[in-house]
Amino acid sequence: MDLSSKQQPSAQQQIIQMHASLIVLVVQVAQNPINKQQLNDVLKVSSDNGWTNLVRVINKITAGDRSASLQQNLDEEDSVIIGAILNGIQNPTTLPDPNGQSGDSAMAAPGIAHMLIQANSGNPQALTMLSTMAEQMSVAAGDMRQLGGIMKKLLDGERDPDVLCKGMGASGISLVQSILDELATLQAH
């Protein structure tokens, strides 16, 4: 039995969890435009950071387009995000938890750690993904907002849990510790 596949979520699951707050917000606005301004603010930041294709497709979705062709000509990450949005509109039970509860820590930590390692190795796409993720977390509440705030410290090499977890609750501390553990494992190889 291959235990690694049970312990590590797929790349698609990691992408969906990392962008959970955006996915849920888009689905909410697509169903009821009451939060349209909040989404517009997030999309402006995303667009300013080079995610123009994703923003363009999200705007089509909130305008009512649900066609399968929306995922054409997108990179893998954007395509996964758009697929999760479209699935969430059709079946809200498929939506990820935007609050990043402790059960999601096991899913998010390996993806974040891998992106940190790649960004530190000079991978511009990983750096862009981390930046966008941190911005999206900043519109969330609680521990996820604080995690977005410490992303730069993690990228710069800070590994002291007391510094990184200051003011976080139990689920945030658990997620940060999982990220640190994963980073230690990756850097040992």
Give the model confidence (pLDDT) of 122-149 as tens digits.
888 778 878 877 777 776 667 777 888 8
Per-residue pLDDT tens digits for 63-80: 999 998 999 999 888 899
Q: How far apart, in whole angstroms, are the C-alpha atoms of residue 20 and residue 70?
A: 19
Find the mean pLDDT for residues 6-22: 72
Q: pLDDT-derived band of residue 53, with 50, 70 and 90 as boundaries? A: very high
Whether pLDDT at 41 is above 50: yes
* Eight-class DSSP state of 3: S
pLDDT exceeds 80 at position 1: no
Going by the DSSP 8-state scheme, the letter that residue 156 receives in this structure is: T
Q: Please state, in angstroms and rounded to a whole number, the distance separating the CA atoms of residues 114 and 126.
A: 9
Positive or negative, the CA dihedral 102, 103, 104, 106 is positive
Q: Is 141 helix (H, G, I), strand (E, B) or coil?
A: coil
pLDDT value of residue 82? 94
CA dihedral sign, ordered 12, 15, 16, 17: positive
Q: What's the pLDDT at 9? A: 58
For the segment 89-111, the average pLDDT, to the nearest whole number, is: 71
Q: What's the whole-model pTM score?
A: 0.57
For the chain, strand residue ranges (E) read none
More confident residue, 151 or 109: 151
In this model, does residue 101 exceed pLDDT 60? no
Task: Quote the CA–CA distance of 111 and 62 in Å, as a whole number.
Answer: 28
Round to whole Å and give the CA distance between 63 and 54. Answer: 14
Burial code (b: 16+ CB inside 10 Å, e: under 16) for 102-139 equals eebbbbbbbbbbbbbebbbeeeeebbbbbbbbbbbbbb
